[in-house]
Amino acid sequence: MTQTTKAYRVTAFDRPPELKEMPLEPLDADQVRVKIHASALNFADTLMCTGTYQDTPTPPFTLGLELAGEVVALGKDVTALKIGQRVAVFSGQGGLATYGNFAASRCVPIPDGLGYDAAAALQIAYGTSHMALSYKARLMPGERLVVTGAAGGVGLTAVEIGKRMGAEVIAIARGADKLAVAQKAGADYLIDAEADDIRDQIKALGGADVVYDAVSGDLYEACFRATNPDGRILLIGFAGGGLPQIKPNHMLVKNITVIGFYWGAYLGFKAEPFLASLSQLFDWAARGEITPHISNRVPLSQVDDAMDMIRSRQATGKVIVTP
């Protein structure tokens, strides 16, 4: 059995991460050992290097939030998985390595027809949008979905999944080039984020039934004012820099629900809908109904370069690190 792993380790927040050869810890009873074939990078990985991400572990730890690979060993209490099974893992850490030990409860089987790269790439971005729209907002076919930051990594998946769920999608993004990207992903209507009449444009299209807001600030206000009675607003992030001004009196009068959503937390307190959502996404991806955009593939030996791509926002899609 494999006894060592190469791993990209944070040993202290005041020192850069290092690629190290290190011994593997013994398996806990509820863990599996995974030979890692692909790990997808996220901006959160760059924040974890300096301890500024909200879920940063205490050093030392191995970077890499989402991965896919092959089960090579089982803890004594694991019965739902088997040796040789292909799995994806939202691990929170440990993905940037050749091998790792992970809780069996975090492993989702990868269906035939779906590659390791795609399984690693779609977990966080697609998982966030699918669970937010289906489980939290209960988006229904024929409803009108407004997506802010619609050309960003997460916003673009909301456009794609919203269309897959039968919604009419209004994409808000900055500039013609970004709007063209959202249109290619399936957006029915396009609104430039620089426009000064966003509320009026949404209202002219019939108003919003669901708003997927990853930007906040002034965009939140415009979308709120254009939300139909009984509408739902998902707070996904605050990329615009400002926090939304929640107005409970207006929420009450219009019967609007404002929903906070943090995808990664669900594994800690309600794993069933989280894992069911990933299984649904893997099924769609295996059938070619959704396709994660992978812009770069980098070997583990060049992981420093891959991290620089994320920091400088050079990548236009997911960056995959392959051992």
User: What distance in Å separates the CA atoms of residue 87 and residue 22, rounded to the nearest whole number?
Assistant: 23
CATH numbers and ranges of domains, the chain? 4-122+292-322 (3.90.180.10), 127-263 (3.40.50.720)
Strands 66-74 and 168-173: unpaired
Residue 231: what pLDDT?
98
Phi/psi class of residue 300: alpha, beta or left (left: φ > 0; alpha: ψ in -120 to 50)?
Answer: alpha
Give the C-alpha separation, 166 to 188, whole Å: 11
Residue closest to 33 by CA, chosen among 41, 24, 21, 42:
24
**pTM value > 0.85:** yes
CA triple 237-116-39, angle to 5 deg: 50
Q: What is the pLDDT of residue 73?
A: 97
Average pLDDT, the chain: 94
Cα 113 from Cα 135, distance rounded (Å): 26
How is 40-88 classified by DSSP, letter by letter?
E--HHHHHHTTT-STTPPPSSEE--SEEEEEEEEE-TT--S--TT-EEE
Q: Is a pLDDT exceeding 70 seen at residue 1?
A: no
Pull the structure tokens for residue 149: 């930051």
Given a cut of 70, whether residue 162 has pLDDT beyond it is yes
Residue with tokens 């000064």: 196
- 318: Cβ contacts below 8 Å, ≥ 6 apart: 40, 41, 121, 125, 153, 292, 293, 294, 295, 296
User: When comparing pLDDT for 55 and 7, which is higher?
Assistant: 7
| DSSP bridge partners of 170 | 146, 189
Tokens 């050992």 correspond to 33
The residue among 286, 306, 275 whose CA lies nearest residue 106 is 275
Chain segment 238-248, per-residue pLDDT in tens: 877 678 888 89
Altogether, the residues listed in the chain come to a count of 323
Please list the residues that pair with 232 across neighbouring strands.
Answer: 210, 257
* 13-19: long-range pairs with CB below 8 Å, 24+: 13/49, 13/50, 13/51, 13/59, 16/49, 16/304, 17/49, 17/63, 17/307, 19/300, 19/301, 19/303
Q: What is the pLDDT of residue 312?
A: 84
pLDDT tens, 13-49?
999 999 999 999 999 999 999 999 999 999 889 999 9
How confident is the model over 128-152, as a mean pLDDT? 96
Lowest mean pLDDT among 82-91, 141-150, 195-204, 261-270: 261-270
Instruction: Please check the confidence at residue 151 and state whether its pLDDT lies above 90.
Output: no
Is 217's pLDDT higher than 70? yes
Query: What does 76-137 look like in DSSP terms, one character per residue?
Result: TT--S--TT-EEEEE-SS--SBSEEEEEGGGEEEPPTT--HHHHHHTHHHHHHHHIIIIIIS
Which pair of structure tokens corresponds to residue 31?
């863990």
Tell me phi and psi for residue 67, to 5 degrees: -150, 170
Tell me the pairing of strands 168-173 and 189-192.
Answer: parallel
Over range 118-146, report the average pLDDT.
97
Residue 153 pLDDT > 90, yes or no? no
